[in-house]
Amino acid sequence: MEATRALFSGLIDYAGLFPPAGLDMQPAAEEYGTVRSGEWGWMCGRFIVPASRVFELCEELEDLADGAVFQPYPLSVIVDAGTDPRAWLGNATSLLETLVKCNAEGMPVRIEALEVPVPAVAAVRDTYDPVIGQFGMVAQNAGLRELPIYIEIPRTDRYADLLPGAMAAISRAKFGAKIRCGGATQASFPSSAEVAPFLRAAFAENVPFKATAGLHHPVRHLDPQTGFVLHGFLNILAAAIFIREDASDEEIIEILEERDEKAFTVTTDVFSWRNRTASVPQIQVARSTGFVAYGSCSFEEPVQDLMALGMLRLSKAAV
């Protein structure tokens, strides 16, 4: 099914090391290998790992390989340089200098992307332009500047005011952006009215983006265990597609707020939300230049949900 492939190919980056799963390195590495070789491996993107733990992952993979030919794991590396703006750039520089060694021939990993949470600006007059530019220079010096790099702006009280300028700076640097959609508390979940401006700014500046946290399930819903209202990755995907088809700000919020699973459908060559439809080429554009991937500590949950929605079907061989 072309539309299904266009929608979900490589969409889910594996984040098993992170909460709520919080797996140790060995079971996370093993699970990712199982997922990649399974029925839905085409949906699985990169293995997400903090820069400070990349060599720990390499050691585990060398043990798993046990001397056999091993296909390196593609990584999306989080530059975990801390939140202190005074120490952040130095920490990031050290981490990137270390990462260069991981791309040497014969290593069991291949760094394919960087995810960069930058520290909050300290002063009222400060913007994110300097730190974004400085990180570009650090990545250039480390020989990693050509990788896809996704900048995560912290969600502070000034986030809405600083977002347009930050997105413009991200665009000038030819980086991507990253949005955090959840966390340990309900306050960690941005409202649809907060997510929509991020999508609009990314689209306006032609910035591809990743998402993370709280996106295990396709459609927005109330989680009975926590009582939190969770965003759906299908909602965000639909918004990223139809924002390119002249959807208004009000309509984008409506898409993000949609809780009716039946409002989303996929046929052989069309994806639909209510009365709006997108062809395979339109989906491909939105995936390549808009919503490229999201991190999930569970791979099984989104797959099972999509099967329940009838958007995925087991192959005859698997049946």
CA distance 3 to 26: 35
- Residue at 314 is within a domain: no
Contact 19/184 with Cβ under 8 angstroms? yes
- DSSP state, residue 123: S
Q: Tell me the pLDDT tens digit for each residue of 13-66.
A: 999 999 999 999 999 999 999 999 999 999 999 999 999 999 999 999 998 877
- Residue at 191 is within a domain: yes
- Residue at 172 is within a domain: yes
- Residue at 51 is within a domain: yes
- Residue at 99 is within a domain: yes
pLDDT at 250: 97
SS3 212: strand
Its pTM stands at 0.96
Beta-sheet pairing, 209-212 with 291-296: parallel
Closest CA to 237 of 150, 166, 311: 311
CA angle 92, 169, 206 (to 5 degrees): 115
Paired tokens of 184: 């340990």
CA 109, 111, 117, 118 dihedral sign is positive
Q: Tell me the pLDDT tens digit for each residue of 241-271.
A: 999 999 999 999 999 999 999 999 999 999 9
CATH number, domain containing residue 162: 3.20.20.70
- Residue at 45 is within a domain: yes
Which residue range is the domain that position 93 belongs to? 2-308
Please tell me the total count of domains within the chain: 1
- Residue at 315 is within a domain: no
